[in-house]
């Protein structure tokens, strides 16, 4: 018991130190995108969150919100994990693809929380074709990329288009998620309040992160380090919400078995 | 081997059999997750548990503010339905949804007995 507590405290201290390093980098990085500690942290957070989604999915019978919200939650974390892996490459084509995964992640996160809200608190049965709309919407962007790529447009231009599209998608999706998580948090109880609260924090950090990126492209370049701090906090909030959900479902499973 | 979930379900069935005009019963956690439920409509079950637990939590907060004590039973009724919620130990609450024609005293007594059983499982 004591060893487990020590281990948890150790992990938390290490995360705090890593975040502090990230804050330190605020003053040492320029406007250009860099591969700093935030990339490693972000990858760690999102891939760990994906593992938490998978383990939480094992207990899906304890929280029966249907298959689609679970699918979208899984895709949110998978796509964002892939997006973060893309940081390790500097090729413009791969950068564009990275942004497409980011767009997908924004769409799926928004869809997952809308579906949970509709099913739990509105008691609306979403028909199968309706629940596939986010998939179709997410599919538009790779098709657009293929079209632009083969139309002879420069890779750098395509990258900028998808960068801006991703910004817009996260700002829009994040705003919707802030609303749905607010409604869910208002109606739920216990640890679910914390799950939706951290999802809301994640959405707020995503909006800030992308908003800074968007205004950076328009007229006011923002130090990349500020944006990467927002991105890191976005990942921290996401992993905490998934951890609470997984812990809650695991605890219930123990109680009824 | 019998699981706790099966024992919970058995307790709910006994409650339903011993009391008339019960529409639905469920044992849920304070987070609003279902431990056992007699309702077959799966989507409705989750909503029932989530709203039931939230109502009990809010009423509990009110009771705590007004009297400084924990809430044990919550009863609320509409034109055609009555909901009785009883604390069933540290981790669970029992929610009973009944029709209007039920004998209130009987429901309350049986719900309390079932809550005691649940506590013991």
* Residues B40, B9: Cα–Cα separation, whole Å: 12
Q: Which domain holds residue A69?
A: 2-256
Q: What is the pLDDT of residue A254?
A: 85
- Does A61 lie at the interface with B, CB-CB under 8 angstroms? no
Q: What is the pLDDT of residue A119?
A: 86
- Does A123 lie at the interface with B, CB-CB under 8 angstroms? yes
Instruction: Give the residue from chain B lying closest to A186, CA to CA.
Output: B54
Q: What is the pLDDT of residue A95?
A: 87
Q: What is the pLDDT of residue A130?
A: 84
Q: What is the pLDDT of residue B82?
A: 92
For A45, the token pair is 């957070």
Of B1, B20, B17, B7, the residue nearest B92 (C-alpha) = B7
Q: What is the pLDDT of residue A120?
A: 84
Q: Minimal Cα–Cα distance from B95 to chain A, Å?
A: 15
- Does A113 lie at the interface with B, CB-CB under 8 angstroms? no
Nearest 10 degrees: Cα torsion B1, B2, B4, B7: -170
Domains in chain B, start-ordered, CATH in brackets?
Answer: 4-120 (3.30.450.30)
Residues 6+ apart with CB under 8 A from A172: A106, A110
Phi and psi angles of residue A154, each rounded to the nearest 5 degrees, phi first: -65, 145
Q: Which residues of B touch A190 (CB under 8 A)?
A: 29-32, 53, 57
Q: What is the pLDDT of residue A216?
A: 84
Q: What is the pLDDT of residue A24?
A: 52
- Does B88 lie at the interface with A, CB-CB under 8 angstroms? no
- Does B61 lie at the interface with A, CB-CB under 8 angstroms? no
* Residues B96, B84: Cα–Cα separation, whole Å: 5
User: What ipTM does the predicted assembly reach?
Assistant: 0.82
Q: Which residues of B touch A187 (CB under 8 A)?
A: 50-51, 54
* Residues A203, A90: Cα–Cα separation, whole Å: 27
What is the residue whose two structure tokens read 């893309």? A86
Count structural domains, chain A. 1
- Does A219 lie at the interface with B, CB-CB under 8 angstroms? no
Question: CATH no. for residue A120?
Answer: 1.20.1070
Average pLDDT for runs of 10 along chain B of length 121 = 84 87 90 84 76 93 94 93 92 91 89 91 83
Low-confidence residues in chain A, pLDDT < 70: 1-5, 7-9, 11-13, 15-35
What is the residue whose two structure tokens read 């209007």? B100
Burial bucket for residue A85 (CB in 10 Å: 0-12, 13-18, 19+): middle
Q: Minimal Cα–Cα distance from A243 to chain B, Å?
A: 15
């Amino acid at each position: 018991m004591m060893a487990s507590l020590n281990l948890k405290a150790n992990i938390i201290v290490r995360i705090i130190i890593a975040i502090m390093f990230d804050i330190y980098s605020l003053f040492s990085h320029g406007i250009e995108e860099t591969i700093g500690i935030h990339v490693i942290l972000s990858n760690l957070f999102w891939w760990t969150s994906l593992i938490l989604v998978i383990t939480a999915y094992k207990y899906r019978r304890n929280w029966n919100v249907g298959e689609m919200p679970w699918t979208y939650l899984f895709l949110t974390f998978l796509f964002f994990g892939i997006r973060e892996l893309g940081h390790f490459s500097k090729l413009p084509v791969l950068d564009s693809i990275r942004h497409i995964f980011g767009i997908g992640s924004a769409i799926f996160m928004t869809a997952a929380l809308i579906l949970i809200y509709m099913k739990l608190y509105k008691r609306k049965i979403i028909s199968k074709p309706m629940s596939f709309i986010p998939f179709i919407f997410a599919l538009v962007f790779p098709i657009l990329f293929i079209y632009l790529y083969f139309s002879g447009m420069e890779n750098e231009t395509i990258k900028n288009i998808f960068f801006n599209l991703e910004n817009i998608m996260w700002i829009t999706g994040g705003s919707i998620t802030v609303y749905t998580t607010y409604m869910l948090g208002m109606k739920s109880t216990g640890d679910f309040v914390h799950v939706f609260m951290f999802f809301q924090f994640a959405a707020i950090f995503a909006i800030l992160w992308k908003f800074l990126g968007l205004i950076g492209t328009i007229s006011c370049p923002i130090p990349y380090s500020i944006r990467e701090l927002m991105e890191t906090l976005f990942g921290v909030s996401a992993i905490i919400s998934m951890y609470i959900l997984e812990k809650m479902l695991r605890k219930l499973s123990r109680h009824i078995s | 081997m019998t699981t706790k979930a099966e024992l919970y379900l058995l307790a709910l069935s006994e409650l339903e059999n011993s009391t008339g005009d019960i529409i639905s019963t469920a044992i849920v956690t304070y987070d609003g997750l279902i431990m056992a439920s007699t309702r077959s409509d799966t989507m409705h079950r989750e909503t029932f548990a989530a709203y039931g637990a939230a109502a009990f939590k809010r009423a509990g907060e009110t009771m705590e503010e007004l009297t400084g004590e924990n809430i044990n039973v919550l009863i609320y009724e509409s034109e055609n339905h009555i909901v009785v919620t009883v604390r069933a130990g540290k981790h669970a609450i029992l929610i009973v949804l009944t029709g209007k024609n039920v004998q209130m005293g009987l429901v309350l007594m049986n719900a309390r007995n079932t809550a005691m059983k649940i506590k013991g499982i």
